[in-house]
Amino acid sequence: DQQVKQNSPSLSVQEGRISILNCDYTNSMFDYFLWYKKYPAEGPTFLISISSIKDKNEDGRFTVFLNKSAKHLSLHIVPSQPGDSAVYFCAAPDDYNTDKLIFGTGTRLQVFP
Amino acid sequence: GAGVSQSPSNKVTEKGKDVELRCDPISGHTALYWYRQSLGQGLEFLIYFQGNSAPDKSGLPSDRFSAERTGGSVSTLTIQRTQQEDSAVYLCASSGIGRPYEQYFGPGTRLTVT
């Protein structure tokens, strides 16, 4: 059973517009969430994170929003740039073993000119 | 500074053969993780090391999989008697003290079992 779900396998956005990537989770014990970005033939790179004590964390063009009651988080990229084209994974530390990250299946973002 | 490196980058092997995948973590990182990504799937946790010990091996899919880490640095993931379902990208990551969630990944080893 997938504890972290990314239901949109792909997203296409025009350069300059907002990209919104969504993630849902089922385990209410999760208290920290991360977003990773992955380019082809490279490993994922850490992008931004949020603790459950917050509902928003912003870093430059990237903002993550957390809605605990809905068990939902989203990553906003504004403005989107062609270099943002990548696969984005959300992840959460397993509440039983917090050294283990549980990843979603990823959303492929394509930003076109 | 140098990031996480993995070798080989690609490995094609025949079903039934053994393979060894290597990971060099970032210098000074005490924790090391192995994941795999099968086609169309997310990253699946396999095992992690804290120093040379592996507190959690629960993600290893079968007893054909084993891993070791020596000197608190390099790790090898061994798959014995490979099967076609073992085909995947095997990713290694490391993290520093106090920041276990921010894992730094290597480029992965793409394993193809024919």
The 10 Å Cβ neighbour count of residue B109 is: 23
B68, two tokens: 């070791």
- At B18-74, the pLDDT tens digits run 999 999 999 988 899 999 998 878 889 999 898 888 877 888 999 999 999 988 899
Alpha helices, DSSP H only, in chain B?
none
User: Distance between CA atoms of B102 and B98, rounded to whole angstroms?
Assistant: 9
Question: Which one-letter DSSP state was computed for residue A82?
Answer: G
| Residue B90: domain span | 5-113
Assign residue B54 the CATH number of its domain.
2.60.40.10
Q: Of A46, A49, A103, which is closest to B42 when you measure between CB atoms?
A: A103
- Contact list, A94 vs chain B (CB under 8 Å): 45
Question: What residues contact B7, with CB distance under 8 A and at least 6 apart?
Answer: B21, B22, B109
| pLDDT number for residue A95 | 72
Q: Domains along chain A?
A: 4-112 (2.60.40.10)
| B42 shares contact with chain A (CB less than 8 Å) | yes
- Structurally, how many domains does chain B consist of? 1
The pLDDT tens digits for B72-100 are 899 999 999 999 999 999 999 998 876 66
